[in-house]
Amino acid sequence: MTVVSSKPLKGYRILDLTTFLSGPFCTQILADLGAEVVKLEAPGGDSSRHIPPYFVEGESAYFLGINRDKKSIAINMKSPEGLALAKDLIGKSDVVVENYRPGVAARIGLDVEALRAASPGLIWASISGFGQDGPLSDRPAYDMIVQALAGVMSLTGEPGRPAVRLGIPAGDMVAGMYAAIAINAALAARGRGEPGCHIDVSMLDCQLAMLSYQSTYALIAGITPQRQAARHDSIPTYRSFVGGDGRELVITANTERMWHGLCDTLGLGELKDDPRFASGDKRLENREALWALLEAAFLARPAAQWVEPLAENGVPVALIKTVPEALDDARHSGRGMIMPLSKHNGTTIDVVGNPIKFIDAPELPGRYPPALGADARGVLGAWLDMDGDRIARLVDSKTVVFSNAPERG
């Protein structure tokens, strides 16, 4: 049998100029897939290294969760020598990823078009709030800003109550995923002989793309979708319910077979012949009456006691888990989704692992997120063929900043 690699991007060099979440999440995906990702940081480091309230040996848990399998070099790009050094590293990169506000790269001395002209194969990926052009391009953006502007928050929460943001930072992470998809597509095109390209990913655009059927309903039917709560606009038996112990569960009875299974499990077999609920259209039209009957039935047992009977009758069902419960389930699932990362001094943390699995490929252990500047010697030696004396001069001039962490291979 042919051995499949779980690191198909091995051999590609990614220079990561990003901070906080959208860009680092993108480059972590690329690192998980085997690319050599080097974070080029300012002397103070990625701002997310300092986000409270949880820290491990001085490093923010926020940073540790999105920067595994990377290397770090800290360069003072405000100095002419530091800027020149950064350009040299760009020239040795397959991909540069940045999430500056449009215009910032040029202000700090990085002329993207000139750099691309000097390296025709270079793929430059820009992640920003609103894209490289357009009426909002010069504004800063954060997760909740784009959730609000894209209409996502208008769909989230209970009807009649104020909008809420999603409990996960989808504005950032979806942009990071789209950027990773685009980078892989650009690498594939380059492998066919096409030149490099400049990728423009907007957080707002990505959130609009994620509106899915809600945007289609608005565009075609001219309606304004409302708060969804834990319900579905089209399928009244796709929602959450409360068991007799106050715990919540969800069902997604999408088909007639599932509807019948739901009625049988709840002891409501007579509803199958009730003309008010004879079809999906009828159930949607009479959803308030249906919900009252279903809600009363679910109160007869604790939520957990409904799970197996519903599943046995073909009804998709799940308890609503807390985050610790979900992580504990993942730890015991055999899917490798809780990944231990060990530091040189023996410190070990757990993070959520790589969801991309390659059948028949061994899953390799992850690498602890880098201390600031910890890989400078190795990167400068391997990428730019620098000797120790030249690196020492860069350190003495404070062009390159080392942490106190041991050098990593």
Angle at the Cα of 74 from the Cα atoms of 71 and 75, rounded to 5 degrees: 135
CATH number of the domain encompassing residue 298: 3.30.1540.10
**150 and 47 share a domain?**
yes
Q: How confident is the model at residue 3 (pLDDT cuts 50, 70, 90)?
A: low
Least confident of 1-10, 58-67, 238-247: 1-10
**348 and 255 share a domain?**
no
Helix, strand, or coil (residue 317): strand
225 assigned to some structural domain: no
pLDDT of residue 2: 56
Residue partners of 117: CB distance under 8 A and separation at least 6: none
Domain C-terminal end among 320, 354, 388: 320
51 assigned to some structural domain: yes
329 catalytically annotated: no
The arithmetic mean of pLDDT across residues 52-80, rounded, is: 98
The arithmetic mean of pLDDT across residues 101-130, rounded, is: 98
* Of residues 256, 228, 227, the one with CA closest to residue 240: 228
pLDDT of residue 336: 95
The arithmetic mean of pLDDT across residues 85-89, rounded, is: 98
CATH number of the domain encompassing residue 393: 3.40.50.10540
356 assigned to some structural domain: yes
249 assigned to some structural domain: yes
CA pair distance 44, 22, nearest whole angstrom:
19
pLDDT at 409 over 60: no
pLDDT of residue 402: 82
Residue partners of 114: CB distance under 8 A and separation at least 6: none
Spell out a b/e string for 323-356, using b for 16 or more CB atoms within 10 Å of the CB, else e: eeeeeeeeeeeeeebbbebebeeeeebebebbee
* pLDDT: which is higher, 210 or 3: 210
Domain C-terminal end among 259, 293, 320: 320
**393 and 277 share a domain?**
no
**301 and 348 share a domain?**
no
**309 and 344 share a domain?**
no
217 assigned to some structural domain: no
216 assigned to some structural domain: no
**314 and 341 share a domain?**
no
**290 and 360 share a domain?**
no
pLDDT of residue 4: 66
CA pair distance 10, 30, nearest whole angstrom:
10
**199 and 140 share a domain?**
yes
pLDDT of residue 242: 98
Q: How confident is the model at residue 82 (pLDDT cuts 50, 70, 90)?
A: very high
The arithmetic mean of pLDDT across residues 272-278, rounded, is: 97
CA pair distance 406, 409, nearest whole angstrom:
10
Q: Count up the domains in the chain and report the number.
A: 2
Which of 32, 172, 205, 375 is labelled catalytic?
172
Contact 156, 227 (CB under 8 A): yes
Instruction: State the average pLDDT for the chain.
Output: 96
**276 and 358 share a domain?**
no
Residue partners of 135: CB distance under 8 A and separation at least 6: none
Q: Which two tokens stand for residue 267?
A: 């002891």
**44 and 132 share a domain?**
yes
**54 and 165 share a domain?**
yes
Helix, strand, or coil (residue 129): coil
User: pLDDT tens-digit profile of 217-264?
Assistant: 999 999 999 999 999 999 999 999 999 999 999 999 999 999 999 999
The arithmetic mean of pLDDT across residues 367-372, rounded, is: 97
Q: Which two tokens stand for residue 149?
A: 């502007």
124 assigned to some structural domain: yes
173 assigned to some structural domain: yes
pLDDT of residue 5: 82
Domain C-terminal end among 270, 295, 320: 320
- Predicted TM-score (pTM) of the model is 0.94
The arithmetic mean of pLDDT across residues 377-404, rounded, is: 94
Name the percent of the chain lying above pLDDT 70: 98
| Host domain of residue 66 | 13-211+335-401
Name the percent of the chain lying above pLDDT 90: 95
Residue partners of 281: CB distance under 8 A and separation at least 6: none
Spell out a b/e string for 16-46, using b for 16 or more CB atoms within 10 Å of the CB, else e: bbbbbbbbbbbbbbbbbbbbbbbbbbbbebb
**149 and 276 share a domain?**
no
